[in-house]
Each structure stands twice: as structure tokens, then as C-alpha cells.
Amino acid sequence: MKMKKLILSAIVTTLISSTVFGGALNTKVVAGDASWVAHADIDAILTSELGKMFLAVAEKKEGFAKGIEAMKKEFGCDPLTDIRGITAYGPQLGDRAGVLVVDVTVASDKLIDLLKAKKSYKSAEHGRHVIHQWTEVKKHSDKAETSYACFYDNKTIVIATDLKRLAGALDVLDGKADSLAKTNAIESLPEIAKGAFFVLAADKIVFPKGKAPRALILKGVSAVSGQGGEADGSVFVSVRVLAGSDEDAVNMRTFIQGFLALGMMMRQQEKFADLQNLGEKIDVGGKGKEVQVDATIPVKSVARILAFIQEHRAQFGPRKRGLRRGDEEMRE
């Protein structure tokens, strides 16, 4: 999907820009007609105990340090310190149309020079803003795609899937068009909790033809929201789903509770002894069509889980295609 590719490429390509919306979600940068929004507070993630833990694991991976140094040299930025936050939004979840607002802390000059060096590079103006446009064939695809970006100021870069969408995003930032802060169009957007570094909300969900989920209880879902973060020594996740009917909501709650019970039973096995007594708390509730799941787990317990995964990576890692685990053991 174009938007997914855009998000991935933006983290690399747009790093090389500037800053403005680090911290919690700022609804003033989101278009008033958006039906979904997602925000990641990169600063908060990397400074949290959870973020430091995962970063320590990543730094041990072969090639990680070289990759960071290569980006510093080529683009003049450090992806671990220069990205402060990313906000994505669009008019319809699943639609290709979407916008990214990226907050970084490096000068845009080098990136602009790189863009201008592309044979397909073009530029246009929207008010006082310069819009950069380039077309290229994406990796693992034979299809050429055009990208649009604008360095809004010395601190912010805006990327969109089409020129009209980008122009609209710039109007929002300029105060010429309504923002989500004014319209409150996404009713499912939760009140941001202390320590949250990721938030997602989507209303008016309509699955594209032929792409509806196979599970019947998910087909009627019309809204979803969630947030996650770290506070008071624990990692927390909160998810809310608006099901298609009361019956679907009951079935969804029952399924989640059954899945959790199965997980607890599996952890009683001797090989999972290190994963017992983690101190997690998981509540499954909600009324009517609403399904609410709230979970917390101490950061220290996450460290235990991570250590367990690292120790048993060979046992629980990806299986060879076409072979069951028993078959692999027999061949050895």
C-alpha cells in the first residue's frame, strides 16, 4: 500500500530535514477532516527505560552501528537523535491518501540538494511554500511512484501521497484550514495518558472491497483507538474497539479472555518457567458494542521477556518454510 511505503521511506528520507512537533500529539497539525491519526513521540520512546532496553539489543546486532554512521555521512543526520516525532493522518483508514508531519533536528539543505540531483525532480509553489516532487521506482516493485514533500520551516517537513493533499496540509499549518483541534472530528481519539509515546485513533472505518477481515466479529468494527507508553516503572497499553453489534463485542471479549487464559496455561510449562510471575495486569471489559483492553507490565518484566527471547531465539525463531520443527530435528 502506498501509504505504508511512504511511512517507511519517510523515516529514512525525511529524517534529513528539521523540527517542530516533538512530544505528545498536537491536533493543530492534523487536518480537520481526518478520520484517522497516529502519532509516535520518538523522543519519549528513546528516553524511556523500554526504549533504552530495545536500543541496547539493537546496538549488539551486526551492521547496526555501520548503518547509523552511513546515514550520518550521507544525509548529515543521526536517526537516533535527530527524529523527534512523527504524525500521520488521512481521510479514510485503508485509503492511499495520507499525510506525514515529521519533526527532526537537522538542517534541510543536504536533503534538498539530494532531491534536486534526481532526474525526475520538479518543484512547485503553494503560497510561500516550495513543494518538492520526484518520481522513482520503489525497491521490490516495478511501479514508479511520485512523492511530494515540503520543508515547512526550519523544523518541520510535510510529506503527502498527492499534491492536493500536501497543499491542504500546508493550509492547516498556516491556519488557513480547520485543524482537528477545532473540529474534533475523530471522536474515538482518547485522552492522552501520562507517559504515552504512541497513540492511534480511527473513526468511520470502512474496509475496502475484497479486503475485509476474515474474522466475522471484526467485519463490523467501525472505530478503534489505542495508546501505549511507560509510566511509574511500568509499560502500559490501552485499546478500545467499537464492534458492529453487542453480540460481536461479547464474542470479541470472550475470544480475548480465552486467548489470555491459554497463554497463562502455556506459561505453566517448565520451559517457560522464566516467564512466570511477571506481575502483569490485563483487564478486558466494555459495555454494549465497546471492547476495552487495558494492560500493564513492569519494565523489569519486559527485560525478563526480552532476555528469554534472546536466549531461546533458535528454538522460537522463524521455521524453515515447508518443514515442521520435528522434521528439522530429524534431518539434523
Would you say residue 129 has pLDDT above 80? yes
Give me Rg for the CA atoms of the chain: 22
From the list 275, 1, 31, 270, the residue with the least C-alpha distance to 158 is 31
- Identify the H or E element spanning 239: strand 234-242
Strand, coil or helix: what is 162? coil
Q: How many Cβ atoms from other residues are within 10 Å of residue 42's Cβ?
A: 23
Sequence-distant (6+) residues with CB within 8 A of 90 are: 3, 34, 35, 36, 97, 98, 99
Q: Which residues contact 139 (CB under 8 A, 6 or more apart)?
A: none
DSSP 108: S
Tell me how many degrees the CA angle 238-244-246 measures, rounded to the nearest 5: 85
Count CB-CB contacts under 10 A for residue 43: 18
DSSP bridge pairs for 114:
none
Mean pLDDT rounded to a whole number for the chain: 83
Q: How far apart (Å, rounded) are the C-alpha atoms in residues 165 and 159?
A: 9
Pairing relation of β-strands 196-202 and 36-40?
antiparallel
pLDDT at site 212: 62
Q: Which of 143-152, 169-178, 277-286, 308-317 has the lowest mean pLDDT?
A: 308-317
Binning pLDDT at 50, 70 and 90, where does residue 211 land?
A: low
Cell readout for 189 is 481519539
Cα separation, 3 vs 99, in Å, equals: 8
As separate numbers, helices (DSSP H) first and strands (DSSP E) second, the chain gives: 12, 12
Q: Which residues is 63 bridged to in the sheet?
A: none
What does the pLDDT look like over 39-85, one tens digit per residue?
A: 999 989 999 999 998 888 888 888 888 888 887 776 667 778 878 89
Q: Which of 2-11, 21-30, 61-70 has the lowest mean pLDDT?
A: 2-11
Look at residue 137 and tell me whether its pLDDT is greater than 90.
Answer: no
Q: Name the band, by pLDDT with cuts 50, 70 and 90, for residue 280.
A: very high
Residue predicted with more confidence, 291 or 144: 291
pTM, two decimals, is: 0.81
- The x, y and z cell numbers of residue 272, run together, are 517457560
Cβ burial 124-163 (10 Å sphere, 16+ → b, else e): eebeebebbbbeeeeeeeeeeeebbbbbbeebbbbbbbbe
159: Cβ contacts below 8 Å, ≥ 6 apart: 6, 10, 14, 99, 100, 102, 147, 148, 149, 166
